[in-house]
Amino acid sequence: MIEINHVNKWYGPTFQVLKDCTTSVAKGEVVVVCGPSGSGKSTLIKCVNALEPIQGGDITLDGVKVNDPKTDLPKLRSRVGMVFQHFELFPHLRIIDNLRLAQEKVLGRKSDDATAKGMKLLERVGLKDHAKKFPAELSGGQQQRVAIARALAMDPIAMLFDEPTSALDPEMISEVLDVMVDLAREGMTMMVVTHEMGFANKVADRVIFMDRGEIVEDAKKADFFGTPRSDRAQKFLSKILQH
């Protein structure tokens, strides 16, 4: 589903954020990407739907080459859901209108259909009663669940999560992770940048460990948590798992 081949990316002329990254996510697979801050994991996931351009290598999404100038990027992006660290709900629109906007403007759905779809998804994430509210009236955890519903409203073929729980208060993390776990169990193809190793342990098929722009480890979950092969991954795990 997602093929990342020898991807290189620079910020400016000298700083290389991604160094020859190669990996893939198969249909129905859940892949967790972890690593210290500044390791390039968020950048990598943003390259998958071309929110960030790449300077070398190839990314293919469901057979479509992302970094081909001829690719219709808006159309491609509409088929992949993305959830951001800071939710990025549209603050001037009510919750239901957040869910309707792209359905109507991008997919051309009728207003009634978009509303019905939106309400169904809000019900699914447990926020049906908040449809008429504005994003600022919701807690962080609720906003992130709305953001997931907004992405799902587009019937995506895969979901990208960029540190979806990093900006949340601790007591709100699990309500978001629960939604993600359900999604994973339903067979959604997911690429998740996160430090939540509990989540990785529960539903991930593979874990990718990145450091300084490189994919240091790309292993089956059991192998990764059993005995990480690299020192850097071991050190990282011991740091985040000791609490």
Partner 1 sequence: MTMLGNFDFDVIRRALPYLFFEGMRFTLTLTALAAFGGLVFGTLIALMRLSSYKWLGRIAGFYVDFIRSLPLVLVIFWFYFLVPYIGQWLTGASRPITVGAFASSLITFIAFEAAYFSEIMRAGIQSISKGQPAAASALGLTYAQSMRYVVLPQAFRNMLPVLLTQTIVLFQDTSLVYVLSIPDFLGAASKVAQRDGRLVEMYLFAALVYFVISCVASFGVRRLQSRIAIVR
Q: Enumerate binding residues for partner 1 (CB under 8 A).
A: 49, 51, 73-75, 77-82, 84, 86, 88-92, 101-102, 105-107, 134, 136, 150-151, 154
Nearest-10 Cα torsion for 202, 207, 210, 215 = -170
**Helices then strands, each counted (H, E), the chain:** 9, 10
Write down the least CB distance from residue 45 to partner 1, Å: 11
Write down the least CB distance from residue 90 to partner 1, Å: 6
The residue among 89 and 233 lying less far from partner 1, judged by its C-beta, is: 89
Write down the least CB distance from residue 102 to partner 1, Å: 4
Of 190, 207, 108, 93, nearest in space to 151 by CA: 190
The residue among 130 and 150 lying less far from partner 1, judged by its C-beta, is: 150
Of 214, 142, 224, 148, nearest in space to 186 by CA: 148
The residue among 51 and 119 lying less far from partner 1, judged by its C-beta, is: 51
What is the torsional sign of CA 161, 143, 152, 58? negative
Write down the least CB distance from residue 149 to partner 1, Å: 12
Q: Cα–Cα distance between 44 and 35 in angstroms, integer?
A: 12
Rama region for 120: left / alpha / beta (φ>0; ψ in -120 to 50; rest): alpha
The residue among 106 and 116 lying less far from partner 1, judged by its C-beta, is: 106
How is residue 70 written in tokens? 């001829």
Write down the least CB distance from residue 220 to partner 1, Å: 29
Q: Cα–Cα distance between 170 and 1 in angstroms, integer?
A: 33
The residue among 30 and 82 lying less far from partner 1, judged by its C-beta, is: 82
**Residue 5 three-state SS:** strand
The residue among 102 and 207 lying less far from partner 1, judged by its C-beta, is: 102
Q: Cα–Cα distance between 49 and 166 in angstroms, integer?
A: 21
Angle at 153 between CA 67 and CA 31, to 5 degrees: 55
The residue among 11 and 90 lying less far from partner 1, judged by its C-beta, is: 90
Write down the least CB distance from residue 163 to partner 1, Å: 12
**Residue 83 three-state SS:** strand
Write down the least CB distance from residue 208 to partner 1, Å: 21
